[in-house]
Copies of this chain bind each other. A is one copy, B any other.
Amino acid sequence: MFFASDNGGPAAPEVIEAIAKANSGIAMPYGADPIMDEVRSQIRELFEAPGAEVYLVATGTAANALGLACLVQPWQTVYCHRNAHIEEDECGAPEFYTGGSKLTLLDGADAKIAPESLSHAISHTARAGVHNVQKGALSLTNATEAGAVYTPQEVAALCDIAKKADIPCHMDGARFSNALVRLGCTPAELTWKAGIDVLSFGGTKNGLLGVEAVILFNPDLAWEFELRRKRGGHLFSKHRFLSAQMQAYLADDLWHRLAAQANRAADRLAKGILQIPGAALLHPVEANAVFAAWPRKGHRIAQQSGAKYYHWPFDQPLEGPDEAPISARLVCNWSTTDAEIDQFLTLIA
C-alpha cells in the first residue's frame, strides 16, 4: 500500500531486460550509440515530428531546467503555475540553469494555469522597460501537480496567448503519458500542434529507472542544448543505458500500457473512496493521482497498517474527532495492484 509517490515503484521488467541486452560489447559513448538513433526515430514518428531533436537525461529536474534554459535569458521570467514542479520541487534548478531567471507564479484551479492569469501577468511584464525582468517562456505541466490534465484545446489557448507576445512554450511532461492516455489524443496534438516548443517527456515516473527525453520541436536549439547538457554534467558517457530504457519504453507501446495501468489504479481508488461517507475529491482524477479527503479514523487505521502516503496540504490540522475529514495525496504507479487498492479501501472505510 504505497501511494506516497510514483517514483517509489519499480522499473518495468521489459526495461531491465533492455538494459541487460544493451550490455554487450563496445558502444560509442555520449549518445553516439545506435540505440539512440532508434530512439530518435521512434520519437519523431510517435510525435509526427520528423525535424525534432531528441536528447536523453536521467532526471526530470534536469530535463525541465535544461529545456527552459534554452528558452529564456537570465533577465527574463518563466510563467508557470504556483504549484508547478519547477517552482515547488526543484530547489531552484530553473534559476540555476537559466542564470537567474525569475518565475512568475500564476493561478488556476487544479494546478492548471487560468488563461486570464497568464494574460494579466504578460501584460504586466516589462511595463517599465529596462527596469523590469522581461518576458521569457511559458511552462505548463501536463498532467498537473494536482492530477488534472490540460486538453489539447486548453494547451493551445495558453500557447496562443504566449505566442502573441513572442513567448516560447515548454511543457513539463513528467506525467505526459498519463495525460495522453486519459485524453486519447495524439502526442502531436497535445504538443507542437498546440504550440509547445520543448517537451520534457517523462519516463522515470512511469516504469523506467531514470530517463526523460527532451524533445526540441524547434531544432535550432539543439546545439545550445547539447552544450548546456554537457556543462550541467548530464551527458552520460555510457549513454546506451539511457537509450536502451527509452527504446524499450517506446517499443510496443509500453509507455502507454504502463500509464494506462497507473491511471486505472487511480480511478479504482477514487471510486472506492467516494463511497466512504464524508469523503470527497479535492481535484478531478484525470491521471494517476487522487487528492481526496476522508474521515480521520480511516487515516489512522490505514497508517497503522503500513499504508504510505502524504497528507495534503502538509499543514492541515491532524487532530480532531474521528469523523473530521483529512485530505491526502495518493499516487498510483504502473505496478499498483487492485489487491492493494482494495485492501487500502477496506482499511480507510
Taking beta carbons and an 8 Å cutoff, which residues of A are in contact with B?
A: 2, 5, 7-11, 13, 16, 19-20, 23-30, 57-63, 65-66, 73-75, 88-93, 95-103, 105, 123-124, 127-128, 130-134, 204-205, 209-210, 224, 226-228, 230-238, 241, 308, 314-315
Contacts and interface: CB of A to CB of B under 8 A. Distances in A.
Contacts of A10: 23-27
A274 to B, nearest CB: 26
A73 B223 CA distance: 13
Contact of A233 (B27, B30, B61, B98): B61
The 6 A-B pairs of least Cβ separation, nearest first, read A62-B233, A7-B237, A95-B100, A61-B233, A91-B230, A2-B26
A237 B29 contact: no
A253 to B, nearest CB: 21
A26 B8 contact: yes
Contacts of A29: 5, 7-8
Given A2-B26, A238-B210, A102 B93 contact: no
A90 B230 contact: yes
Contacts of A130: 30, 91, 226-227, 230, 235
A99 B99 contact: yes
A9 B11 CA distance: 24
A237 B204 CA distance: 8
Contacts of A231: 74-75, 90-93, 96
Contacts of A224: 73
A272 B43 CA distance: 47
Contacts of A235: 59, 61, 130
A166 B63 CA distance: 30
Contact of A100 (B24, B88, B92): B92
Contacts of A5: 29, 237
Contact of A59 (B23, B97, B210, B236): B236
7 contacts: A59-B236, A62-B232, A123-B315, A127-B315, A210-B237, A210-B241, A233-B234
A226 B102 CA distance: 18
- Which of A66, A128, A132, A134 is most buried by chain B, counting CB atoms within 10 A of its CB? A132
Count chain B CB atoms within 10 A of each CB in A24, A30, A226, A230 and give the residue with the most: A230
